[in-house]
Amino acid sequence: MHETVVKLKFCTLSFYDKYVIAQINEGVHLDHQHNEALIEVIEDYYNKPFVYITHRVNSYSVDPNVYPRATRVKYLKGFAVVSDKYQAKINAQIEQMFFGKPFEIFTELDDAIKWAKDLIKKS
């Protein structure tokens, strides 16, 4: 499936067959309202298993309390964080504790995509 791009005020979502790649804008504090907006768009797009990949090219913060709600998204099978920044990886390790499904941290986007495809194949 080819890429479909959806731009929200705070991020850009690139939808593919088995995964969505999110790039959150610089300086955003991803909170409950942002999370609900993401979930609404994503649930409208997928009616089959997928993986959420956040490509952290910008600096932003995440309220870890969004993860229990995100864990309940029907077809979401896993969550990947991609960043080459040390602090983003440390933050992701903390966030990982709040998410109740497979959650991996990568330096390269290609590695996250491969993991996502493998995870969907197994589900």
Yes or no: say if 81 and 97 are a contact pair by the CB < 8 Å rule. no
Beta bridge partners of 54: 22, 81
Pairing of strands 61-62, 29-30: parallel
Q: What is the pLDDT of residues 30-44, one digit of tens each?
A: 999 999 999 999 999
Phi, psi of 97 (to 5 degrees): -70, -20
The predicted-structure confidence for 88-121, as pLDDT tens digits, reads as follows 999 999 999 999 999 999 999 999 999 999 999 9
Q: Domain 4-122's class?
A: alpha beta
- pLDDT of 123 reads 84
